[in-house]
Structure 1
Amino acid sequence: MGHREDLLEGAKRCLLEKGFVRTTARDIVKESGANLASIGYHYGSKDALLAQAYVALVEGESVAFEGEGPGELPGGPGSLERFRAVWANIVATMREPGSLWRLSMEIVVMGDQLPGVRDELARAQRQGSRGFVSLLMGVPEEDVTDAAADTLGSFYSTLMLGVIAQWTFDPKTAPDADALTEGLRQIVEGATNR
């Protein structure tokens, strides 16, 4: 690996160990074996590097949302069965010790303090919304329209952030996939009975 990749891997490890706020440029350099100047050369700033490291961690974790692999999810596209299966996989990542999702709460809280990081993560969030639509509706990501990403995808992303907040705050009472699916079923039933 080159310095760029070493820095990214070092930043990932620092994020998981120390979080966003407590990670310093020197921590990343120590963890990566690179030099301090290479952060600015390759990423522009420590915060930009940490933002990219966070996005890479989330992308790596999101592979688990599919479970055994593409095409292995039960139920048809958009079904409650598929919804439940995907959310069971997502919640399982939150139960793991040292879950990276606590970083999401840290980043949400400090977003106004780091506008450059917020902008980078906002772009990644739009792509994540597109990925949710693809996964839950069974369409290739490149076929997800901007309108679908901005509506259905935003709905799923908002649900995700709420679930992360609940699992971060109180894992004992946070909803599991069955509770989320039952809640969605009740919403659909209420909306269609009017």
Structure 2
Amino acid sequence: MRIVGTREDLLAGAKKCLAERGLARTTVRDIVAASGTNLAAINYHFGTRDQLLNQAMLESTGESVTRVLDSLPDDDDLDTGERLTTFWRKLIESFGADRAVWSANVESMAQALHSPELRTEIGAAQVRARAGLSEALGDNDPRIGAIVQTLIGGLLAQALIDPDNTPTAEELTAGIQALAALSNPTP
């Protein structure tokens, strides 16, 4: 049995509200209802609604980076194409299974445009993710992590907005391979 405290309940409620309602439409009453706490608890633990929501967004960003890195295959015997396809498949599945985490993450990225604190923290998380992606895909070249991370952002947007038309893992891997071939034409 897991015992959760009021602070954790507030954060869980705030993340749920971010995923379901977005920042602009989330009120303190929504958070209180989702967390099963009371209004005074927000002030006691976080000071303000915005500070609570900022913390929830930071945690959501951390959770999404973990989901990305957890999607990387453990099998070192796979060739690069198979590793990429396995990665994309697990990540796309995560978008559906953990929709709340990913929705809150998108909300966090949008809010980072207006919050230096969020921008700094999310930027640091992105650097960690790029390094982890490069290493896990068999090369420490940071350009690989940068490209894959960039693709993840677009793939996430597509998966959240129109999941039925999200590219498959196989399509993504084949597209990357085709793009690489275009980049290095043989004479």
TM-score, normalising length: structure 2: 0.75
Against the structure 1 CA distance between its residues 49 and 9, is the aligned structure 2 distance closer, same or farther, given a 3 Å change threshold? same
User: Is the contact made by 1:74 and 1:85 (CA closer than 8 Å) also made in structure 2?
Assistant: no
Query: 2:30 is matched with which residue?
Result: 27
The 1-side partners of 2:66 and 2:119 are apart by 20
The 2-side partners of 1:22 and 1:94 are apart by 23
The 1-side partners of 2:15 and 2:100 are apart by 13
What are the Cα deviations for residues 80-136 of structure 1, in whole angstroms up to 9, with x where unaligned? 110111011111122348453333443444432333322222222222222222332
Percent pairwise identity: 25
Q: Which residue, 130, 153, 157 being the options, matches 2:149?
A: 157
Aligned pair 1:174/2:166, yes or no?
yes
The 2-side partners of 1:48 and 1:110 are apart by 9
Instruction: Choose between structure 1 and 2 for higher RCO, CA contacts under 8 A separated by at least 6 residues.
Output: 2
TM-score, normalising length: structure 1: 0.73
Question: Gaps (5+ residues) in structure 1?
Answer: 139-143
SS of 1:75 mapped into structure 2: coil
Aligned pair 1:123/2:127, yes or no?
no
Q: Aligned residues, how many?
A: 180
Query: 1:14 is matched with which residue?
Result: 17
User: Is the contact made by 1:16 and 1:100 (CA closer than 8 Å) also made in structure 2?
Assistant: yes
Aligned pair 1:191/2:183, yes or no?
yes
Single out whichever of 24-33 and 45-54 deviates more from structure 2: 24-33
Aligned pair 1:53/2:41, yes or no?
no
User: Is the contact made by 1:87 and 1:177 (CA closer than 8 Å) also made in structure 2?
Assistant: yes
Question: Gaps (5+ residues) in structure 2?
Answer: none
The 2-side partners of 1:63 and 1:32 are apart by 32
Aligned pair 1:39/2:45, yes or no?
yes
Offset at residue 154 of structure 1 (A)? 1.7
SS of 1:100 mapped into structure 2: helix
Offset at residue 73 of structure 1 (A)? 6.3
